Amino acid sequence: MSAPILRYFEFAHLKAGPLRVTSEKFHRLACDLDESLADGPEKSTSLRKLLEAKDAAVRAALDA
């Protein structure tokens, strides 16, 4: 069962361009981490912090 936080890494709703490309990279990493790490507080923390990083990267991509 995948972590509920993965829904925030979805990117299909974005049109082609820098925002989608940036979001897709984080989505792939989040899915990989979700599959490869054992469930627990550290996994939850890593995905939450990755989401924070994705949000910042997407905002940076707005200027690209």
pLDDT digits (tens, 9 = 90+) for 19-59: 999 999 999 999 999 999 999 999 999 999 999 999 999 99
Radius of gyration of the chain (CA): 12
Contact residues for 14 (Cβ-Cβ < 8 A; gap 6+) = 20, 23
H or E segment and range at residue 4? none
Residue 1 has pLDDT above 80, yes or no: no
Amino acid letter, residue 34: D
Could you give the number of structural domains in the chain?
Answer: 1
Q: Give helix 18-36 / helix 41-61 axis angle, nearest 10°.
A: 170
Enter the pTM of the model. 0.92
pLDDT of residue 64: 79
**Separation between Cα atoms, residue 21 and residue 63, nearest integer Å:** 14
Owning domain of residue 8: 4-61
pLDDT of residue 2: 87
